[in-house]
Amino acid sequence: MAVLVILGIIIFLFGMFSGHDWSQFFLKRANLDNPEEYSRYAKLSVTFLSALLIWIAGGSAFDSADVERLGIAYAFILLGDVIFFFNVHSRWGVLSFALAHFLLIRRNAFGIPAWQAEGAMWALLAAILGASLLIMFLVFYPKLKNNRPYFALLTGYAIVIGASFWAALVAFKVGFFPHGNAILIAVGVACFFLSDVCVGFYRSLPKNYSMVFATYLTWIFYAPALVLTALSSYDLDRISW
């Protein structure tokens, strides 16, 4: 019952801030200095509630150690969102999210040392990392070339999120997660990846409606990423709704 209530609140908040955001965008009423001036309160609540889904999993989890690993990762995700909420230096927020994804990599690729490696999966890792670096240098470097330290930080983060996406796909092959959970992980982390691409545009574009569009699009991917990855910690056959 608790899971259903939390999901209901998340869906309500998502509908509320999405409706507000996109009405502001289409009516050209968004605050270019702070596009999420009001909706950011609801958005931070969604991050907390998604973390809460993990922290209350208890006997509904498919593996107690997995819940601990994912719960710590979400603590850093929540910390990163709190940093950005209070407009603390964004570099600390990026570092917090990078650490969260390091933990997600460890969690989602759990069991990989005992896995019989397949060349195709390592080729996929190289392709994802190569694509991430290509996006950084072709798309974001022209926008951030005057702030090279920040570009270097974001490039490092792009490598981490790319590796995190790969680890989510590896979950299908390693076999630690049930198939349904592996699907939630793959779709959830794919949404994380897409939301971070949107954040990259938001952080690099000038203050115009293209930046606002990227800001609002971020949460179209980020909210599902949070919820789906959180639900991947549950035993889907005996989840206590």
Digit-by-digit pLDDT tens for the chain (241 residues) are: 789 999 999 999 999 999 999 999 999 999 888 898 889 999 999 999 999 999 999 888 888 899 999 999 999 999 999 998 887 667 888 899 999 999 999 999 876 665 565 677 788 889 999 999 998 998 888 888 888 888 898 899 999 999 999 999 988 877 788 889 999 999 999 999 999 999 888 878 888 999 999 999 999 999 999 999 999 999 987 665 4
Token duo for residue 46: 């969604």
Per-residue exposure over 30-51, b if at least 16 CB sit within 10 Å of its own CB, e if not: beeeebbeebbebbbebbebbb
Residue 43's φ and ψ, nearest 5 degrees, are: -65, -40
Per-residue exposure over 101-113, b if at least 16 CB sit within 10 Å of its own CB, e if not: bebbbebbbbebe
Distance (Å, rounded) from C-alpha 62 to C-alpha 238? Answer: 9
Token duo for residue 202: 């938001």
pLDDT at res. 33: 87
| Domains, the chain, ordered by start | 2-231 (1.20.1070)
Largest CA distance in the chain: 55
Enter the pTM of the model: 0.90
Residue 174's φ and ψ, nearest 5 degrees, are: -65, -40
End-to-end, the C-alpha distance of the chain in Å comes to 4
Distance (Å, rounded) from C-alpha 198 to C-alpha 216? Answer: 9
Contact 180, 170 (CB under 8 A): no
Residue position matching structure tokens 């798309």? 139
- Beta-ladder partners of 234: 61
Distance (Å, rounded) from C-alpha 56 to C-alpha 75? Answer: 14
